[in-house]
Copies of this chain bind each other. A is one copy, B any other.
């Protein structure tokens, strides 16, 4: 690795990937931008980069040397591979990468949702990947950003601190070192169970979308998602989902913060209960509901966040009735079996493992083959 300026591959040219590629490029990093569908990046290739509007309102140009839909070209020579795609595409991305990965490369899922790094690693194993790579996951995406046109991206906000863990955790320092120059905002999480289970989207997104489903579809999402879509009674469902998440984590020996604690930490929003804290959060003001039910709050958060939590709960005897109910209703609303498509423990190579075996895996990387 180039110790001073690592070379980045950014996989995915959506709202997140374009912003990250542009942001790295304007700051002088070499970037290879990959997108599976070439049409999506053709204009960037022609233009030679991406126009970025920064948080401060500056308009800068980030020159991008390599723009490609050829994964081998994207990965060749990259030190850090930033995966910036919906979690539903992580499996496919891992399959695409496998033949082209080289010893020492670092893969970071931005973010992993729940058990993203475990799924990525499992695919590498299944595909017989020989390269010694590092796989890590961020707990959330570092930017609030949006694609503003074919070669335009805008960053609204950069988060101050984004927990990140490698799988195994012994690799986390390597990742932070490699990222330090580009993104000092990344801070170490204890291990991927923490980044995976401190997933607040899992608590808020599917429940609120489902309990507002008729209104979303009837009005095209024309209401305040949090300030009108959360009522005292509806907030009870969020609280039970949150309690199930926290209890599953506890069964794995992990202490996660509650959604109430998170609202206080992230937004200084306080209250006796989730309803009060959400209403007290001015950060939610003006946030509209999804425009339709065909939204990642269901098609990403259900299979990639709720399903792995429910699957862990099942293996370790934690009832996840509220989460199960949401998975089932989401499956009906979308006519999709999200449990089958989601991250269940068998797909993560964790089926039948004990808590201490899983802990050993996330900490040290030793994985006993399941039954």
Q: Does A333 contact B (CB under 8 A)?
A: yes
Which A residues are closer than 8 A to B by beta carbons?
A: 208, 210-215, 217-218, 223, 228-234, 236-237, 240, 293, 321-322, 324-326, 328-329, 332-335
CB distance from A244 to the nearest CB of B (A): 10
Query: Which residues does chain B contribute within 8 Å of A231, judged by CB atoms?
Result: 213-214, 217-218
What are 6 sample pairs from A and B whose C-beta atoms fall under 8 A apart?
Answer: A210-B211, A213-B233, A214-B229, A237-B329, A240-B332, A322-B328
Distance of A232 Cα from B237 Cα, bound (Å): 24
* Contact B215 A214, beta carbon cutoff 8 Å: yes
Query: Which residues does chain B contribute within 8 Å of A218, judged by CB atoms?
Result: 223, 228-229, 231
* Contact B329 A325, beta carbon cutoff 8 Å: yes
* Contact A233 B333, beta carbon cutoff 8 Å: yes
Main secondary structure of the interface of A (DSSP, over half): helix
Distance of A332 Cα from B233 Cα, bound (Å): 9
Distance of A321 Cα from B211 Cα, bound (Å): 17
Number of copies: 2
Distance of A335 Cα from B333 Cα, bound (Å): 25
Query: Which residues does chain B contribute within 8 Å of A217, judged by CB atoms?
Result: 231-234
Using CB atoms, name the residue of chain B closest to A215: B215
Query: Which residues does chain B contribute within 8 Å of A234, judged by CB atoms?
Result: 213-214, 217, 333
Query: Which residues does chain B contribute within 8 Å of A334, judged by CB atoms?
Result: 233
User: Given B236, B326, B332, B333, which contacts A333 in the complex, CB threshold below 8 Å?
Assistant: B236
Using CB atoms, name the residue of chain B closest to A207: B329
Of the candidates A230, A234, A236, A322, the one having the most CB atoms from chain B within 10 angstroms of its own CB is: A234
* Contact B324 A328, beta carbon cutoff 8 Å: yes
CB distance from A224 to the nearest CB of B (A): 9
Distance of A223 Cα from B222 Cα, bound (Å): 15
What are the 6 tightest A-B residue pairs by CB atom distance, in nearest-first order?
A: A217-B231, A325-B325, A325-B328, A215-B215, A212-B214, A214-B234
CB distance from A228 to the nearest CB of B (A): 5
* Contact A332 B328, beta carbon cutoff 8 Å: no
Distance of A232 Cα from B335 Cα, bound (Å): 12
Using CB atoms, name the residue of chain B closest to A227: B218
User: Given B210, B228, B230, B237, which contacts A332 in the complex, CB threshold below 8 Å?
Assistant: B237
User: Given B213, B228, B240, B324, which contacts A325 in the complex, CB threshold below 8 Å?
Assistant: B324
User: Given B212, B214, B223, which contacts A230 in the complex, CB threshold below 8 Å?
Assistant: B214
Query: Which residues does chain B contribute within 8 Å of A328, judged by CB atoms?
Result: 321-322, 324-325
Using CB atoms, name the residue of chain B closest to A208: B214
Query: Which residues does chain B contribute within 8 Å of A326, judged by CB atoms?
Result: 325, 329
Distance of A293 Cα from B321 Cα, bound (Å): 20
Using CB atoms, name the residue of chain B closest to A232: B217
Distance of A232 Cα from B214 Cα, bound (Å): 9
CB distance from A90 to the nearest CB of B (A): 26
Distance of A335 Cα from B215 Cα, bound (Å): 24
User: Given B211, B325, B329, B332, which contacts A214 in the complex, CB threshold below 8 Å?
Assistant: B211
Distance of A236 Cα from B210 Cα, bound (Å): 13
Query: Which residues does chain B contribute within 8 Å of A325, judged by CB atoms?
Result: 324-326, 328-329, 332
CB distance from A339 to the nearest CB of B (A): 10
CB distance from A253 to the nearest CB of B (A): 27
